[in-house]
């Protein structure tokens, strides 16, 4: 799926002003070692906008950073919307930059899902609608900062969601068998070892700490599914729909886990 892997829809920290490390707040928890309010630079952010503990985030108590992806919004805001001038160079732009970043992140997430939908042959009959939606969202990403700052993304998402739902239906139908819907289901800690979940609708499902060892998730729709600490050891995720790298990073797995083409096996997974 070439379009999904485009650099523009993947975070490129080297081209970003550390926006996720400044603009976003986090609270001391299992995911973060300290409290940090929005707008304050993380204590680990270096002068070159790189993370000083990037190679040891998990053991340092910053697991939350390893499961976050801006889908390329960081470099878009840094290099395009604000023309490559950082909040350190122009402090007067900082507040607006921090407001624009989460808006752009939502738009880029939609672009990422629409791009994947367009790479799915099973959804060919709605490719025209998908392309039109993609073009509309791309136009929004090109708006000036003052317009992006106040942009309400909710209606944009509401316009795209039916197309993503239809894509899911068309793609999952190719898995064969009776369609299974567990959309939004509470499956926290459930034992689903070896489960046949081919073509299952798992949109928004809570799979936190679920045992999915050896489960077959081929062509399953995983958009918005919470896979934190889910055990994917030996599971098959071939052509899983709308799966993201952050979802995999939040889960557990091993060398036997079958990943879709183009995804990276998280470094913390068992060998």
pLDDT in tens, 28-49: 998 999 999 999 999 999 999 9
Q: Low-confidence residues of the chain, pLDDT below 70?
A: 1-7
pLDDT of the residue at 178: 77
Residues 183 and 200: their CA atoms lie apart, in Å, by 9
Bridge-partner residues for 45, per DSSP?
51
Residues 6+ positions from 113 with CB-CB distance below 8 Å: 160, 164, 223, 242
- For 83, counting Cβ atoms within 10 Å of its Cβ (0-12 exposed, 13-18 middle, 19+ buried), the class is exposed
Domain ranges of the chain: 2-172, 177-271
pLDDT of the residue at 30: 87
- Tell which CATH architecture fits domain 177-271: 3 Solenoid (2.160)
pLDDT of the residue at 5: 42
pLDDT of the residue at 121: 97
Residues 232 and 251: their CA atoms lie apart, in Å, by 7
**219-258: burial string, b at 16+ Cβ within 10 Å, e else:** bbbbbebbbbebbbbbbbbebbbbbbbbbbbbbbbeeebe
pLDDT of the residue at 3: 41
pLDDT of the residue at 1: 37
Quote the pTM value. Answer: 0.92
**170-181: burial string, b at 16+ Cβ within 10 Å, e else:** bbbeebeeeebe
User: Nearest-5° angle of CA 136, CA 22, CA 266?
Assistant: 75
């Amino acid at each position: 799926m070439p379009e999904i892997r485009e650099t523009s829809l993947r975070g490129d920290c080297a081209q970003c002003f550390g926006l996720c490390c400044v603009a976003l707040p986090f609270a001391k928890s299992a995911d973060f070692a300290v409290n940090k309010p929005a707008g304050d630079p993380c204590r680990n952010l270096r002068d070159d906008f790189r993370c000083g503990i990037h190679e040891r985030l998990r053991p340092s108590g910053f697991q939350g950073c390893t499961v976050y992806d801006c889908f390329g919004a960081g470099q878009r805001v840094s290099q395009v919307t604000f023309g490559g001038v950082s909040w350190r160079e122009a402090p007067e732009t900082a507040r607006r930059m921090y407001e624009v970043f989460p808006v752009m992140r939502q738009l880029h997430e939609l672009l990422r899902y629409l791009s994947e939908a367009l790479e799915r042959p099973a959804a060919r009959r709605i490719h025209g609608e998908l392309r039109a939606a993609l073009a509309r969202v791309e136009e929004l990403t090109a708006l000036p900062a003052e317009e992006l700052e106040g942009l309400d993304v909710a209606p944009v998402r509401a316009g795209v969601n039916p197309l993503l739902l239809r894509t899911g239906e068309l793609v999952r139908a190719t898995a064969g068998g009776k369609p299974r819907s567990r959309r939004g289901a509470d499956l926290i800690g459930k034992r689903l070892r070896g489960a046949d979940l081919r073509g299952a609708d798992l949109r928004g499902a809570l799979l936190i700490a679920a045992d999915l060892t050896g489960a077959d998730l081929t062509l399953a729709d995983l958009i918005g599914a919470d896979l934190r600490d889910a055990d994917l050891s030996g599971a098959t995720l071939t052509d899983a729909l709308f799966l993201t790298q952050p979802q995999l990073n939040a889960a557990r797995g091993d060398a036997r886990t079958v990943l879709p083409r183009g995804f990276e096996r998280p470094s913390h997974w068992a060998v």
